[in-house]
Amino acid sequence: MLSRTADHLFWMSRYTERAENTARMLDVNYETSLLPQSASVALLGWQGLLSISELLSTFTEKHGDVTASAVMEFMVKDETNPSSIVSCLRAARENARAVRGSLTTEVWETLNQTWLEVNKKLKAGELEDDPGQFFEWVKYRSHLSRGVTVGTMLMDEAFHFTRLGTFLERADNTARLVDVKFHAIQNDFYGTTGSKNQEHDFYHWSSILRSVSGFEVYRKVYRDVIKPERVAELLILRADMPRSLHASLNEVVNNLNVLSNENSGETHRLAGKLCAELKYGRIDEILATGLDAYLTQFLDRVNDLAAHISKDFLLPSAA
């Protein structure tokens, strides 16, 4: 298939996935903000969300103080913010439009419909009326995009590039999410013993789990109270947890295997190595070296992998 087409498909699915993850983070932050908590903790949450996305400085330049409503506005509606939900949905749709001939009608119509509806919803004030409902809708549309892709597309290159984008983006997003939440906690109340804090811990960890639809999964897997190291293990190392780093990398490797061409050896090596480290990794080792350092390095490597994929498959090769 055309390199340009592959590039559009890859980014189409990355943007769709990114919109979903942004909605997940905003949703959880919004719900947490409804709980009784100190203003400084609430502020920390919103700040964290901006730093996950590397947008804190852009935000403060534009809005000054971090407030819940300003962050929501910035991360959902701001068309000048390329990571806002509306920007991601537009970019997904524009990428799809550029290659609509390579998509099934159902996939194209789903993305086009999402884009048309999000504009209507925002205009009608649905975000302000009921943020939770709006975020549910974004997640649902993303589920639908993935579902209709798997359910209707020929399992050819177009399909595998689309899947590759989804899981690379997911690996990136989950790593950022885990990093910022653990970071916030280490600075604030992780490891303290007061009963108030224990209660707070519970809500904090459960909110991370819920942001990746992992709360029920946690209970099922561990049958235990919620402990930070287990949350980390679930989201990083468990291959059966759909949004974990390990599960995402497994999919990246699987799709890359199908796509391999004569130049892509190094890309496979990088992906395979990263995946193997997750497969044979242990959470106590990771925590011992420091979670933040580990995740920062992980993000760098995902980024590097994306650059290799781009070079090997997506950029027009020289004549």
Partner 1 sequence: MQKFDEMYTQLPYEFFTQGAQIRDHYKIYDEWLARQPGDMMAKRRQEAELIFRRVGITFAVYGDKDEDGSGNERLIPFDLIPRIIPSNEWKMMEKGLVQRVTALNRFIHDVYHDQEIIKAGIVPRDQLENNVQFRLEMMGVDVVNNIYSQISGIDMVRAPNANGEGEYYVLEDNLRVPSGVSYMLENRKMTMRLFPGLFNSHRVAPVAHYPDLLLETLRASSPPTTAEPTVVVLTPGMHNSAYYEHAFLAQQMGVELVEGQDLFVKDNFVYMRTTRGPVRVDVINRRLDDDFLDPKVFRSNSTLGCAGLMDAYRAGNVTICNAVGTGVADDKSIYPYVPKMIEFYLGEKPILNNVPTYMCRNKDDLAYTLANMKDLVIKEVHGAGGYGMLVGPASTKAEIEDFRKALLANPSGYISQPTLSLSSCPTFVESGIAPRHIDLRPFVLSGKKVQMVAGGLTRVALKEGSLVVNSSQGGGTKDTWVLEDGAPTAASVQSQTQTQSN
Interface size with partner 1, residues (CB under 8 A): 30
Using the minimum distance from each CB to partner 1, give the nearer residue, 94 or 277.
94
For residue 272, give the H/E element and its range.
Answer: helix 265-279
Using the minimum distance from each CB to partner 1, give the nearer residue, 3 or 47.
3
When binding is defined by CB under 8 A, the residue of 38, 57, 67, 113 that contacts partner 1 is 113
Separation of alpha carbons 172 and 303, rounded Å: 8
CB atoms within 10 A of CB 34: 9
When binding is defined by CB under 8 A, the residue of 63, 77, 97, 121 that contacts partner 1 is 97
What would the two tokens of residue 265 be?
């050896």
Closest CA to 166 of 299, 10, 308, 298: 10
Choices 104-112, 165-173, 213-221, 237-245; region in contact with partner 1 by CB under 8 A: 104-112
Q: Are 314 and 7 in contact (CB under 8 A)?
A: yes
CA torsion through residues 72, 73, 77, 83, sign: negative
Separation of alpha carbons 282 and 292, rounded Å: 15
Binding mask 115-154 for partner 1 (x = CB under 8 A): -x--x-----------------------------------
Kindly state whether residue 78 participates in binding partner 1, applying the rule CB under 8 A: no
Using the minimum distance from each CB to partner 1, give the nearer residue, 10 or 298.
10
Kindly state whether residue 307 participates in binding partner 1, applying the rule CB under 8 A: no
Amino acid type, 314: L
Cα–Cα distance list, 316 to 23, 149, 159 (Å): 33, 25, 19
What would the two tokens of residue 154 be?
């020929």
When binding is defined by CB under 8 A, the residue of 31, 109, 188, 277 that contacts partner 1 is 109
Choices 13-21, 96-104, 143-151, 240-248; region in contact with partner 1 by CB under 8 A: 96-104
Q: Nearest approach, Cβ of 119 to partner 1 (angstroms)?
A: 5
Choices 139-147, 245-253, 287-295, 311-319; region in contact with partner 1 by CB under 8 A: 311-319
When binding is defined by CB under 8 A, the residue of 36, 101, 191, 194 that contacts partner 1 is 101
The footprint of partner 1 on residues 238-267 (CB under 8 A) is 259, 261-262
Binding mask 149-178 for partner 1 (x = CB under 8 A): --------x---x-----------------
Separation of alpha carbons 207 and 192, rounded Å: 19
Q: Nearest approach, Cβ of 157 to partner 1 (angstroms)?
A: 6
DSSP H stretches of helix in 223-264: 228-236, 245-259
Binding mask 1-30 for partner 1 (x = CB under 8 A): xxxxxx------------------------
When binding is defined by CB under 8 A, the residue of 38, 67, 105, 297 that contacts partner 1 is 105
Cα–Cα distance list, 27 to 20, 30, 33, 245 (Å): 10, 5, 10, 21
Separation of alpha carbons 58 and 118, rounded Å: 24
What would the two tokens of residue 83 be?
């990571």
Amino acid type, 99: V
Q: Are 182 and 232 in contact (CB under 8 A)?
A: yes
Instruction: List Cβ neighbours of 37 (8 Å cut-off, separation of 6 or more).
Output: 200
When binding is defined by CB under 8 A, the residue of 15, 74, 108, 182 that contacts partner 1 is 108
Q: Nearest approach, Cβ of 19 to partner 1 (angstroms)?
A: 16
Residues at the site binding partner 1, with contacts judged by CB under 8 A: 1-6, 94, 97-102, 105, 108-109, 112-113, 116, 119, 157, 161, 259, 261-262, 313-314, 316-317, 319
